[in-house]
């Protein structure tokens, strides 16, 4: 079982580029596979989650290869060109892949089964299967609403208007992808804004999408066309180093070519409200996605209240934000984040348990957490196989007075395979033991 051993202290210095955005990488592979023509991808995240997405489409007859420049080349098969896989598709640890592909697979002329690792087999899927069933899909899943999913082919899908009870980019994207195969118009209404990579990419691949306020619509029967795409660095991965530079004394870091889509920058907004010294430079747009270089300097953080409206814009970054809260003066209160309990782990409970072991007063709530900033001590942390938990506690060691040992870290490779090397490069005293 892979472990991280992180010695206390240190300062953060350097200029780095973290790996490509995972959310965008998944979506580009999916849309490129269904497009007419060739899609050429630079900056694609090559981690376990995205490699499992690539493998799934290869299993359905799509040619996906890497060229000598390190680019991923996809020879699209068109909207109706996928072939039935000869065995169940293994999705690994990626909830994004399974939920988005549930929408795509619902529109195919063949049946498919999708499974994954132990963690994924415990993740709730009713949030996507229920509206898909309303569209006419036929999906079988375990009695408790978890994978494996068996999606029966040859169903005639009908467009619907779906008011999402909980803001979720994965549910929105799933229904829009299914809507491409449905008769009529499919609309999704969000209670709060969520990441909009799917809508931006659909437009980029030539599929008409209409967005008005919190409502997104498309009509079935359109086409996708291959294109060249440069994927920005993942702000969710950058967040670990942003917080690292904030909490470590005498620190400064520059993170290059980071995606700063306004539906993803909740982590920056929240940290700036806490007093973080974060500035964006060289702002530009590449393939419809806003990008910037981010400079971060040591900061005196203070506790704040984080409300439900802000949760979807920082949903993946809360574990590292909890570390920032532990290093801040005063109390940080998060509410409206019950979604965190059904991620790769129960991130509210697992983070609370870990912070308490390190001497921080952290009180889990049904939909959030209350964290009192304080002094961090060393200790042993069980990450429960959750990549973001493992990386977050590695960053916490910058402010600890003793070594932090983090167990069950193998899944860091699902999103950030070179995390340890980059962390060492900028000054974090972390070692990996296999």
> What pLDDT does residue 378 have?
98
Extents of the domains making up the chain: 3-20+232-433, 22-230
* 34 pLDDT tier (thresholds 50, 70, 90): very high
Active-site position among 196, 316, 386, 408 = 316
Tell me, what's the pLDDT at 376? Answer: 98
The CATH fold assigned to 22-230 is UDP-n-acetylglucosamine1-carboxyvinyl-transferase; Chain (3.65.10)
Query: Is-contact 365 353, C-beta < 8 A?
Result: no
3-class SS letters over the chain: CCEEEECCCCCCEEEECCCECHHHHHHHHHHHHHCEEEEEEECCCCCHHHHHHHHHHHCCCCEEEECCCCCEEEEEECCCCCCCCCCCEECCCCHHHHHHHHHHHHCCCCCEEEECCCCHHHCCCHHHHHHHHHCCCEEECCCCCCCCEEEECCCCCECCEEECCCCCHHHHHHHHHHHCCCECEEEEECCCCCCCHHHHHHHHCCCCCEEECCEEEEECCCCCECCEEECCECHHHHHHHHHHHHHCCCCEEEEEEEECCCCCCHHHHHHHHCCCEEEEEEEEEECCEEEEEEEEECCCCECCEECHHHHHHHHHHHHHHHHHHHCCECEEEECCCHHHHHCCCCHHHHHHHHHHHCCCEEEEECCEEEEECCCECCEEEECCCCHHHHHHHHHHHHHECCCEEEECCHHHHHCCCCHHHHHHHHCCCEEEEC
Residue 287: its pLDDT value, please?
A: 86
- Domain 3-20+232-433 sits in CATH at 3.65.10.10
Q: What is the pLDDT of residues 76-94, one digit of tens each?
A: 999 999 999 999 999 999 9
pLDDT at 1 over 90: no
For residue range 116-134, list pLDDT tens digits in order. 999 999 999 999 999 999 9
How many whole angstroms separate alpha carbon 353 and alpha carbon 379? 12
Residue that the structure tokens 């929240």 belong to:
270
Give the model confidence (pLDDT) of 40-78 as tens digits: 999 999 999 999 999 999 999 999 999 998 899 999 999
Quick one: pLDDT at residue 342? 85
Alpha carbon 224 to its chain's center: 24
- What pTM was computed for the model? 0.94
Cβ-based neighbours of 409, under 8 Å, separated by 6 or more: 2, 3, 4, 383, 387, 390, 432
Distance of CA 314 to the CA centre of its chain: 10
Task: Decide if 3-20+232-433 and 22-230 have a common fold.
Answer: yes
**Residue 367 annotated among the catalytic residues of the structure:** no
What sign for the dihedral angle of Cα 270, 272, 278, 281? positive
- Each residue's pLDDT tens digit, 347-380: 999 999 999 999 999 999 999 999 999 999 999 9
For the chain, percent of residues with pLDDT exceeding 70: 100
Instruction: Give residue 415's Cα distance to chain centre.
Output: 8
pLDDT band at 334 (very low <50, low <70, confident <90, very high): very high
């Amino acid at each position: 079982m892979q472990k991280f051993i992180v010695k206390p202290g240190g300062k953060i210095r350097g200029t780095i580029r973290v790996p490509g955005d995972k959310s965008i990488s998944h979506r580009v592979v999916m849309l490129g596979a269904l497009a007419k023509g060739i899609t050429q991808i630079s900056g694609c995240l090559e981690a376990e989650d995205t490699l499992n997405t690539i493998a799934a489409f290869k299993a359905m007859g799509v040619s996906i290869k890497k060229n000598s420049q390190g680019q991923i080349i996809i020879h699209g098969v068109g909207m109706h060109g996928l072939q039935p896989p000869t065995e169940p598709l293994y999705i690994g640890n990626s909830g994004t892949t399974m939920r988005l592909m549930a929408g795509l697979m619902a529109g195919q002329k063949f049946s498919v089964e999708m499974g994954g690792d132990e963690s994924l087999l415990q993740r709730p899927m009713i949030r996507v299967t229920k509206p898909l069933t309303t569209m006419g899909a036929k999906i079988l899943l375990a009695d408790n609403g978890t994978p494996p999913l068996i999606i029966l082919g040859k169903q005639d899908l009908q467009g619907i208007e779906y008011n999402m009870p909980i803001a979720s980019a994965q549910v929105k994207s799933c229904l829009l992808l299914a809507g491409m195969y449905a008769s009529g118009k499919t609309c999704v209404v969000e209670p709060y804004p969520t990441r909009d990579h799917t809508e931006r990419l659909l437009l980029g691949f030539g599929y008409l999408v209409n967005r008005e306020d919190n409502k997104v619509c498309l009509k079935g029967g359109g086409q996708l066309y291959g294109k060249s795409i440069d994927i920005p660095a993942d702000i969710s991965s950058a967040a670990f180093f942003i917080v690292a530079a904030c909490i470590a004394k005498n620190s400064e870091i520059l993170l290059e070519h980071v995606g700063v889509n306004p539906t993803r920058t909740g982590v920056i907004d929240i940290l700036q409200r806490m007093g973080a010294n974060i500035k964006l430079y060289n702002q530009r747009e590449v393939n419809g996605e806003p990008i910037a270089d981010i400079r971060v300097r040591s900061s005196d953080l203070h506790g704040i209240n984080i409300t439900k409206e802000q949760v979807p814009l920082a949903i993946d970054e809360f574990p590292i934000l909890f570390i920032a809260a532990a290093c801040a003066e005063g109390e940080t209160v998060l509410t409206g984040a019950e979604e965190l309990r059904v991620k790769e782990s129960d991130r509210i409970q697992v983070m609370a348990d870990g912070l308490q072991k390190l001497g921080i007063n952290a009180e889990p709530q049904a939909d959030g957490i209350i964290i009192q900033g304080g002094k961090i001590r060393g200790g042993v942390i069980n990450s429960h196989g959750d990549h973001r938990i493992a990386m977050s506690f590695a960053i916490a060691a910058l402010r600890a007075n003793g070594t932090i040992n983090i167990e069950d870290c193998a899944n860091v490779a699902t999103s950030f395979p070179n995390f340890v090397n980059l962390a060492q490069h900028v000054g974090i005293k972390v070692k990996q033991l296999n």
